[in-house]
Each structure stands twice: as structure tokens, then as C-alpha cells.
Amino acid sequence: MQAVQITDHGGTEVVAYGEYPDPEIDDDEVLVDVKAGALNHLDVWVRGGLPGIDLEMPHVPGSDAAGVVREVGPDVTRFEEGDRVAVSAGVSCGECEFCRDGEYTLCTSFHIVGEHVQGVHSEYAAVPEANLIPVPEGVDWEVAGSSTLVFQTAWRMLIDRADLEAGESILVLGASGGVGHAALQIADYAGAEVYATGSSEEKLEYARDHGADHVCNYEEADFADWVRAETGKRGVDVVVDHVGGETWRDSIRALAKGGRLVTCGATTGPNPETDIRRIFWNGLSILGSTMATSGQVDDVMALVWDGTFEPAIREVLPMSETARAHELLENREGFGKVVVKPDSELES
């Protein structure tokens, strides 16, 4: 089969597309005929090399994909040949104390398809049954293959970890990115007053159209000053920060007394300076969040499948142009997800 492959850690020159051994499924796995997948910033980080993760090269990347079941292992009970499925990339042991409490993302051996193990950006992929969710008829492959990771991540951040309630105020940083555009829609759905940042008028217009009540171009203004001016110096109840080092201090500064900062990533660096005095004096909460539990995935994806939430897709490329997809993410070109499809799918 043909697959996207990272041949070494480095720039986009290490991304290739070519022959790769056909996958063989284990007893609890499903062989998926991949119709579409999508990139996340995680793919860029994996390509560059993540501390503590020693990958076998070549490595097939990709945490988002959807397709048709072609074969099932003898222990598989939830799916059969011909079913439409999407990948939910979080893998947990199911046995530790956190898994027994239903907090699968806190599992002591939690890992992610495409990051710690081989991914799904290939013509065929062997995926554990536990990491697949049904896709209803009528849902486009581009939607099914691009929405699971960011929408489950944003849902857990806002609904579970931050416990966002109707009438509260929330600031979503980078509202046109993957997690950002999902968080924007979920915040609006929850009944919050939504503040959002972006780097261009096009991105801000998208934010307005998808739930933002107030928008700020962070290239032209300090977003913390803007939020405090917009709220009469009060600040917002919740800040969604998946950016990291560059925004951390201002994210804390944008919070109202008793506010919550929820984070799932550190795109611009993992070790920011922090004003600890502001945290304890204002009674702030710093909340970490990763992926979602299986029940949370089911809840949010039902709202994607019925059209309540809409993944933004900036471009659809053949998998042979995955290096270009990496450039789109790194250069922040456009907004939403970059979808990749097997070349054979685009040729058929």
C-alpha cells in the first residue's frame, strides 16, 4: 500500500509518500480502508521530534482519519465489514485506577495514535476496535476524517474541565485553528459570551460567523488589554489557551477573579513565565486537559454528525502533498483543518 512516512526528524523534507507494508490486524483490531484524514499540529511536533518519544522510522503519522471497515479481528464485536468509521486517537490501558474511574485520558500508559505508535495516514490502517466510532451515512469523509481529535479535545476542555456555564464569558485564543475553531462553536453552544482572537480579518470574520460576540486581531492589539477594556476591567471567566509560552502571562491577566485557564497544548513553548501572585491573589484555577473519555467523544461527535458543529476545512490535498500540508499549518495559512486523502482515492 501507499502511506505517508516520516523518514527522520527534521523539516518538511523528511515527509515522504510511497510504498509501505500492508497492515496485519490483531485479534482486537479492524482494517480500515482510509478515505480521508487530517493533520493536527501534533503531526508537526512528531516530525520535529518530541522529547522522550523514540519512534521507529519510517513512521506513519496521522491521528485523524475515517474510512470503511474491510476486515475485523476475531475478538471484534462492534463493527463488521462495510461499516463507516472514524478514528478516536487516544489509547488507554482500561485497567489502571484512572481508567476504572472513567478518566481514560489520565491513564498511566495513555498514548496517541500517530504520536507514540504508527498513525493512520495511509491507504489502509489497522486500528484497535476501542479507537473507532461509527460514522452515519451522509456524513462527508472530509468531515468524518478531520473532526474527532479537535472536537473531543475542545469539548472536554470547556464542558468537563472548565465546567463552562450559560451566561459566563470565555476567551478563545487562535479561534480559527483546529482546537480553537471547535472551542468557539462549543462555547457558543453552551450559551457563553464569546471573545475570540485571530491574526487577520478573514479569520476574525470566520469567528464572528461561528459564535464569537467580540473579536480581536492579536497582531494589532494586546489581547489582555482588549479583554479588560471590553469587560470594564473585569476580565473573562474562562480562557482557552492552546498556544503556550507566548500567550500564557496575558491569558492569566485576561481572567476575572475566580477565573479558570484551561490548556491542552504549548505550541509556542512549554515553559512560560508565570505571575504566581496574580494566580493566588485572584483565586485563579489552571486546568490541564488532554483528549476526552469515550463517553465525551460520543457526546460531541453526535453534534458534529448532525451538523450542529462544523469543522472548518481550509484545503484538501493528496497524501503525496503532505509536506505542503505541514507548511500550511506551520505558516498559519488559512483557518481550520487541512485534509489529506490517499492519492488512489482522488484518482478514482
pLDDT score, position 243: 86
Residue in 321, 314, 310, 312 with CA at minimum distance from that of residue 343 = 321
Q: What is the dihedral of CA 190, 193, 195, 196, to 10 degrees?
A: 30
Quickly state the pLDDT bin for 246 (edges 50, 70, 90): confident
Q: Buried (b) or exposed (e) across 241-272, using 16+ Cβ within 10 A?
A: bbbbebbbebbbbbbbeebbbbbbbbbeeeeb
Q: Within this chain, do residues 273 and 332 fall inside the same structural domain, yes or no?
A: no
Over the chain, what is the mean pLDDT? Answer: 95
Residue 197 — φ and ψ, nearest 5°? -120, 155
pLDDT of 60-100, one tens digit each? 999 999 999 999 999 999 999 999 999 999 999 989 999 99
Question: Do 17 and 39 fall within a single domain?
Answer: yes
Least confident stretch, 19-28, 174-183, 331-340: 331-340
pLDDT-based confidence at residue 38 (cuts at 50, 70, 90): very high
Is the pLDDT assigned to residue 348 strictly greater than 80? no
Whether the per-residue pLDDT at 50 is higher than 90: the answer is: no
- Average pLDDT of the residues in 10-32: 97
Decide if 297 is inside a domain: no
Give me the pLDDT at residue 113, please.
Answer: 95
Give tens-digit pLDDT for 284-310: 999 999 999 999 999 999 999 999 999
Q: Which range marks the domain in which residue 268 is found?
A: 151-288
For 162-189, give the DSSP string.
S---TT-EEEESSTTSHHHHHHHHHHHH
Taking the alpha carbons of 59, 15, 143, 334 in that order, is the dihedral positive or negative? positive
CA-CA distance, 16 to 322, in Å (whole number)? 8
Domain containing residue 84: CATH number: 3.90.180.10
Residue 273's pLDDT is what?
87
Q: What's the average model confidence in pLDDT over 330-340?
A: 87
Do residues 142 and 244 both lie within one domain? Answer: no
So what's the pLDDT on residue 1?
Answer: 97
User: pTM for the complete prediction?
Assistant: 0.95
Domain presence at residue 306: no
Same domain, 100 and 141: yes
pLDDT at 270: 84
pLDDT for residue 308: 97
The pLDDT value recorded for residue 52 is 82
